[in-house]
Amino acid sequence: MPSTLRHVVLFAFKNKATAEDIDTVVTAFGALKDAIPAIVSYEWGTNVSLEGLNDSFTHCFTLTFAAAPDRDDYLNHPEHQRFVGMLGGVLEKSLVLDYWVQ
């Protein structure tokens, strides 16, 4: 079995979300890498595709884990749970995909 697990998260924000609201979410997401030791790496960016197929998703976050239990620890970690709790007011929808690197 491969030993690198990617956790990809896409966010589409509500129309009423301000730039400050979005910056707060991005900053809080980035802070998880320092709060949760199971995260091997973290990166993020905004959509720059010219294809127009992003279905209103504008922000992509990718986290790397060494094993499934590490990802599970991240999902259940109190800091992650706190982060998820702050999203309701500004997030329209999200999409999450996990895969083993081939």
Structural domain spans, the chain: 5-92
Q: Is the pLDDT of residue 19 over 80?
A: yes
Predicted TM-score (pTM) of the model is 0.95
Helix (H, G, I), strand (E, B) or coil at 59: strand
**25-to-12, 51, 73 alpha-carbon distances in Å:** 12, 26, 21
Task: Provide the terminal-to-terminal Cα distance of the chain, rounded to the nearest Å.
Answer: 9
With a cut of 70, say whether residue 1 has pLDDT above it: no
The pLDDT score that the predictor gives to residue 3 is 84
The DSSP call for residue 18 is -
Q: What architecture is domain 5-92?
A: 2-Layer Sandwich (3.30)
